[in-house]
Chain A
Amino acid sequence: MAEAIWVTLKLATITVVFLLLLGTPLAWWLSGTRSRFKAPIEAITALPLVLPPTVLGFYLLILMGEHGPLGQLWETLFGHALSFSFTGLVIASCVYSLPFVVQPLQAAFEQLDRSEIEAAWTLGASHRNTFLTIVVPQARRGFLTAIVLGFAHTLGEFGVVLMVGGSIPGETKVMSIAIYEYVEALQFDEAQTLSLILLAFSFLVLWLVYTLNRNRQVQRWT
């Protein structure tokens, strides 16, 4: 049980970190572009919202399997398989939770006052400094929402994990899979404990975020 909790938290944390690194530039580009590629890229980003997790998991398995292009490339580079590994699970989780990180960030960036960014440039601030000192503080609600949704969504992942990661204890067996297996084995007490932990944790994280968002200082800015 402890292993499943550890794998789940590790997976959710790493996924959120990767998604922030990948999703922030993508959301920034989507929020400002007039490119004709915007709509198709938005559609691709949002696909995990509407696709059944098993369908998404199936395609990811094909892509990352030993005969899939990504799986073969990975094996050539690192000498081990991508599917049914923790790394494969991280990649699949990043795809699965992508819209939950990108969309809140994009919405936050779209609400920013463009002239404040331009004002920072005219005052000599580099693009990087402007992003860190103007964009991030003003889009912090978007970042908080993205982190919480990305984390919570990865915690509750089931279908994709099952397809891509299977149920290897200590490697790919996350809490939702463990709960399923406990129920199948009629071990309701263990299933109950894990479910309660997930419920309490999810509630606490959401509570914390909503409290932070109601912070008086944040309200003073608006």
Chain B
Amino acid sequence: MDLNALSIRARLQRKAFALNAELDIPLQGITAILGPSGSGKSTLLRLLAGLEKLQHGSISLGDKLWVDTTARRHLPPQQRRIGMVFQDYALFAHMTVAQNIAYGVATQQGMARLERFLSRLQLASLADRYPAQLSGGQRQRVALARALITEPDLLLLDEPFSAVDANLRQTLRQQLKQSVNEAGCPALLVTHHLEDVYYLADHIGVMVDGQLLQFGNKQQVLHQPNCKRVAELMGWQNFLPIRGITPGRVYGDWGGYPLPQEANINSAWLTIRAEHVQLLSAGTSDIAAVVSEVYELGMSRIISCRLQGGVTIQKTQSLDAAVPEVGDTVSLAFPLAHTRVLPDIYMNQQPQRTPLHVITAANDPKPLAQHA
């Protein structure tokens, strides 16, 4: 039992869904669980809150054992000392803002905190309003104040920005981060927005189809995804299929490339983020491409290049950089430090992919591109 962690060993089987997660979440800062809709991240949160019962496994927060299925222990939500912000905020519709926030505190000391939270989250002027009279952002602040006022051991946040307009999200993220820091309470956030993870998370877990694919600190998961599925969710845009591998080199229909690191036999994809792709004059690298599309997106420009074999690579650059024309032939280079070779998916601590054609001296094919 890790005394400084939320330890989760969870297995849950339902008709068309299985959840499998083993992780130790440090009890500091904000941890984000990222995953597409239906990946099981909200179920994980509900298991932690005690709103769902675990079938197999255990959950403990520091030295407090919440769930142990072998000992038939299931601590009810009332005894877990958690704060939870629900996806739709779940504000009590028949209570005012002040009554909502004060619901979980009965003591005088707790009531004294009400004034502090009302002013800290800029809710003092709304104290007598009902939830139906509030905007989405105001409701979120009320839900946050209601969860934090009880001084919980753990704050759980279920997609807290999904019910607000996109232009409000960044302001609310800042408020959330500030409130959580001031409260000094570890928080677990589930979201399917990468921006939430970039801005808020200290640690990241990635869940897909009920499986926890990777868990680690932010830099590690963002920059060293352990498989293609995690890389996609972390915003990596370019995936070149690997058809063959020799010591020191990988091949595909698109060309060949030096192995950027010791590649696993299960590696199936050569991967690079769009901002790290280098666009060069034709004939200056192994990888030839034709510019297929150029467009501007906010403060940057996106250049799509089609490689041999039909793979498309995206390159982002600043608006003041030189622009190639659609139809131009160019060369691409991938700096070794920013390139990864990854399996399809990393499940049950094993990389998964279809068997790879391993190239040996006896069956070495013709070079696919003009690699040296």
User: Which of the residues B51, B91, B150 comes within 8 Å of A124, measured between beta carbons?
Assistant: B150
Residues of A within 8 A of B51 (CB): 118, 121-122
Q: Which of B9-17, B75-83, B291-299, B329-337 touches A?
A: B75-83
Known: A115-B88, A221-B130, A222-B132. A122 touches B83 (CB 8 A): yes
Residues of chain A within 8 A of B133, CB atoms compared: 220
B78 touches A134 (CB 8 A): no
When distances are taken between beta carbons in the complex, the residues of chain B under 8 Å from A123 are 83, 103-104, 146-147, 150
Q: Is the CB of A121 within 8 A of B90?
A: no
Q: Is the interface of A mostly helix, strand, loop or mixed?
A: helix
Q: Which of B51, B92, B103, B104 has the most CB of A within 10 A?
A: B92
> B94: CB under 8 A from chain A?
yes
Give the interface size class of chain A: 10 to 19
The answer to whether A120 touches B103 (Cβ under 8 A) is yes
> Does B32 lie at the interface of the complex (its beta carbon under 8 Å from any beta carbon of A)?
no
In A165-209, which residues have CB < 8 Å from any B CB?
none
Interface string of A123-136 (1 = CB under 8 A from B): 11110000001100
B50 vs chain A, min Cβ distance (A): 8
Say yes or no: A124-B130 contact (C-beta < 8 A), given A115-B90, A138-B94, A221-B94: no
Contact with A along B231-264 (1 / 0, CB 8 A): 0000000000000000000000000000000000
CB atoms of A122 and B82 under 8 A apart: yes
Interfacial residues of chain A within 66-117, with CB under 8 A of chain B in the complex: 113, 115-116
Bitwise, B341-352 to A at CB < 8 A (1) or not (0) is: 000000000000
**A125 in complex: contacting residue of B78, B83, B93, B156, CB < 8 Å:** B78
A137 within 8 A of B: yes
Name the A residues within 8 Å of B78 (CB-CB).
121-122, 124-126
Q: Which residue of B has the minimal Cβ distance to A113?
A: B90
B94 touches A119 (CB 8 A): no
Given contacts A118-B51, A137-B94, A138-B93, contact A125 B86 (CB under 8 A): no
Q: Which residues of B contact A121 (CB under 8 A)?
A: 50-51, 76-78
Interface string of B54-78 (1 = CB under 8 A from A): 0000000000000000000000111
Please, which residue of chain B has its CB at the minimum distance from the CB of A138? B94
Least CB separation from A130: chain B residue: B78
Chain B min CB distance to A66 (Å): 49
Q: Using Cβ atoms and an 8 Å threshold, which residues of chain A touch B88?
A: 113, 115
Kindly state the interface size class of chain B when it binds its partner. 20 to 34
Interface residue B84 (Cβ < 8 Å from any Cβ of A): yes
Which residues, 313 to 349 on B, are CB-close (under 8 Å) to A?
A: none
A117 nearest CB across to chain B (Å): 9
Is B49's CB within 8 Å of the partner chain A? yes
The residue on B at minimum CB distance from A219 is B132
Are the C-beta atoms of A220 and B84 separated by less than 8 Å?
A: no
Report if A116-B90 is in contact (Cβ < 8 Å); known contacts: A123-B146, A123-B150, A125-B103: yes
Q: How far is the CA of A126 from the CA of B150 in the complex (A)?
A: 15
The answer to whether B77 and A122 touch across the interface, beta carbons within 8 angstroms, is yes
Is there contact, CB below 8 Å, between B146 and A220? no
* Bound Cα distance from A133 to B99, whole angstroms: 11
Q: From residue B95, how far is it (CB to closest CB) to chain A in Å?
A: 8
Interface string of A57-69 (1 = CB under 8 A from B): 0000000000000
Cα–Cα, bound, A221→B132 (Å): 6
**Contact flags B94-137 to A (C-beta < 8 A → 1, else 0):** 10000000011000000000000000000000000010110000
B93–A222 CB distance below 8 A = yes
Asked if B86 and A118 make an inter-chain contact with CB atoms under 8 angstroms apart, the answer reads: yes
Residues of A within 8 Å of B94, CB to CB, are 137-138, 221
Query: Could you jot down 17 A-B contacts, CB within 8 Å?
Result: A115-B86, A116-B92, A118-B84, A118-B86, A119-B90, A119-B146, A121-B51, A123-B103, A123-B146, A123-B150, A125-B103, A126-B78, A220-B130, A220-B132, A220-B133, A221-B130, A221-B132
List 8 tightest A-B contacts by C-beta distance, closest first. A123-B104, A115-B90, A119-B90, A121-B77, A122-B84, A137-B94, A221-B93, A115-B86
* 16 further A-B pairs in the complex, CB-CB below 8 A; given A116-B92, A122-B49, A221-B132: A115-B86, A116-B93, A118-B51, A119-B84, A119-B90, A120-B103, A121-B51, A121-B78, A122-B50, A122-B80, A122-B84, A123-B104, A123-B147, A133-B103, A220-B132, A221-B94
